[in-house]
Structure 1
Amino acid sequence: MESSDAIDITLPVDRSLIIEELMNEYGDAIVRLSFTYTNNAAAAEDLTQEIFIKCYEKLPTFNQQASLKTWLFKIAINHCKDHVRSWHFRKVALFDKLLPGQTKPLEDDIISREESNALASAVMKLPIPLREAVYFHYYEELTVKQIAELTNGNANTIKSRLKKARERLRGLTGGYYYEK
């Protein structure tokens, strides 16, 4: 098959055959597209499965105003954007960015992961202004001045928020939080 646009989808048609052809033709491309949104291979594969399920469910509504390929990619883009905007993705992405994994022996990795999870949980417990300052400073690596400009705040206020955040993080993590 050269292109899914050649697929005859006039009903009645077995939707599973059409989806199977779409998966064979565009499956890898949808995984790559999903990866560009998530930067996570496992999440991209999960999203791809969800996208093809959604296509299967929506196939009867396809009105052939666009090509089947265009329709599939539009569904994929919208699904990926919804995923990236979701609370779960933002929380997981924040944890991953604040606490990047490292290659270590298994015991060190387990201990490090527990500490990282505790720190990430503690960051998520901070009030939004403090969490925002921590996020921009440590994840986005912005300077205090840049954060102040971005948030329409005062540089001294941002410094104060970072100091309060570090103090609270020490308390929330049992004192093992330290700045590197």
Structure 2
Amino acid sequence: MRKIEDYILIRKIKSGDTEAWEKLVNKYYNQIFTFCVRRCWGDQILAADLTQDIFLKVIENIEKYKFSGKFFNYLFTITVNVCNNYYNKKKFTQSELDEKVLNLGSESLITNLMMQESANQIQVALNTLPDIQREALILKYYYDLKVKDIAKITGTSVSTSQSRINQGLKKLSKLLDREGFMNE
């Protein structure tokens, strides 16, 4: 059903229908923004900027879009690429990375008032994973995507995507089982 709705919206957008563009953005904005927040260590301002860049890329290239596969996969492919390009340009130093994780820890005290503590612990642990593993886990468990769709989105093989998910889960499990982590 989603595929047909997207097809109709994109056809309308290609014919100049601005309301259809607005509907498409509204349909996917929260999912893209949420992915970017998770991918950017909780930095909502950066996530909003990246989300805007993603939708600009989509509208700039909508005429080239071919109706093969799910639009959602196409959109997430752009999302992953925009995030990766940002971080490839911005090479974080270890001290910047440590500072981000520490800042996230202080933000999680406020967040704990609104959300379950375990969800925050998972997010903090997730933020410590390598980008490729974090990305695969976010797509798998927060967006409930199949491994073959994750492979398409990230431009890897199914076995590589599955490996990234498995390795990420093992690392998360170790982090969450550490006594010191759970008590912080």
Q: TM-score, normalised by structure 1?
A: 0.47
The structure that has the greater radius of gyration is 1
Q: Looking at both structures, which has the greater relative contact order when contacts are Cα pairs under 8 Å and sequence separation is at least 6?
A: 2
Bigger fraction of residues in helix: 2
Give me the TM-score of the superposition, normalised by structure 2.
0.46
